[in-house]
Structure 1
């Protein structure tokens, strides 16, 4: 073999070796990637399996939690015991009494059961109940009692009242300190459990930084009767929130149709309408004006918000008042106020949910209660000069 042939053979052998090494490296890399991919697949599958287990366990746990709350505490225990429902007890108080006495297993589930079935008019009295009774049987029984005495106190809260005005009314007529009442209204530790207890009407929106009082607008205008000479602030608040909830739940489907507006937004609008209008015709038309302005990204410019921002009652809003620096001043800030500026009447809520379809963008509420409407700013200025003379 010649030197040239030998060199050729060496080169061919080296080429083969390099080729084999390259193939081996590729094979090793492939095996490594396959092993890594297999590991990743195993981890992903493990995580998916774990997630599925957690979902199933959570769902099963939730199912049995609710199922257990809806079933009799002990179907085989027919032992009767006396359960006393005091006069003036709220639904949440009744539920707590039943759970404490072992008649129901979960007071929260019972409160939801009562709400979903639109149960009302529980009667005070002594009842013979047993752990074997169903929620339906217990509820029917609790509606048969006879109230044996008249209420000790009766307090009427009119529409359009702020929390501070409500506190004054309870101080005058129910032996409640207005300061004590308002301290509760500012206590976030007190408010947060209420959000959990009344989720259909209360949300974290009421805890927003700009909100003056979280429960402003949520204590319904009605006559409240008490069977205790010294009702607690907590008893009063629960009674009033339950009344608000009872009213709002009747309109919840209509509220949910207004997809851009939460319950909080709707009640805020209802409070603005409440403060501006006296008749249902004006309420519906003013609601229509507010929606027109909101749709056009116009400021609402409604005087009651200025008064709320000032924190005082005045017969007339002056031009200088319109400059007050507050998120509640709708002459300075766009959109709705951070929350309601007073409680609302049911008619104002209806007006917001079924406003008049109008072309008006302006209105003037005169001191005598008459309301004048305009489509253009020029028309509005003329009406202001005629019916609402402001001073500097």
Structure 2
């Protein structure tokens, strides 16, 4: 493909991503994968170049642009090499016309930037949310050691404060490696590993992973427990939960029971576990502001109304978790968000309506933030998280 054809491809992809973000459709990486699957003529260099153009444009623009062309024109205004590809050639974009709409660069929509600032983040910390994410893996200690993995990946670097964590060059083909296929490693951000460890899961415990998804944190809990005890992993998303068992099998984990829940009927489906859990992990559905390094178009999806719905769902899940913890047991509350509405404010509200419960700030996790702790890309080099541990009376 010519440079101009790559630019036109990026414009087409951005058009699809803008519409999907507006209408709540598939994520950018899904749309990009589908686009390439139907265009076999695009070689590996073309794919890398097009993907880079798309994500560079997304990271540049805080507000959702009017079109893919407006987005690429914003990028072209800063990069003459891209501007030159608007040449009107076959398969390339039309030449730039005077007065054409150009998207405006920014860190995030104004209301969302203000909310992050009210949550204690300055401009440098907000900008770091859009850095490129590293490639982190978790060594599955049920299968081997860090030394075993480093023998297979000589470029792997230990991650400070993350005993089972290693950082690899971003282009490492991890998921095609024998170490991954054999269950020795899992791809997992260092921050995700830290907040999973904050739960304090130990051998012999009964643990409920209330929003398990595909099981990334579930498997980390199982390793911390030495595959000894019981983990009930639940979710309302059938497709995601179905991915857990094959992953558990590959990782040598045998203590996990997956349980699909109907939305709004979670309490009845978990009635047999009321007051039974040593640890309830709630990796709650959230705005994902802490994951913009991986999903920068998420800034274009979030609205006031969606945030309000998420906050209401989170409060309901916290109250459900409280019914599952045994006396003296704990809830570990995790959101991959840096908005106080989903983190510290949720904990304050929970403590106000649940007499006898108390908050414990997890040690050695990021920076203390009110009743919990916070991890940020700027300070910790990880995705953004808020984590708090709540102790039952």
Q: TM-score, normalised by structure 1?
A: 0.23
More strand per residue: 1 or 2?
A: 2
The structure with the larger Rg is 1
Give me the TM-score of the superposition, normalised by structure 2.
0.23
- Structure of higher RCO (CA pairs closer than 8 Å, 6+ residues apart): 2
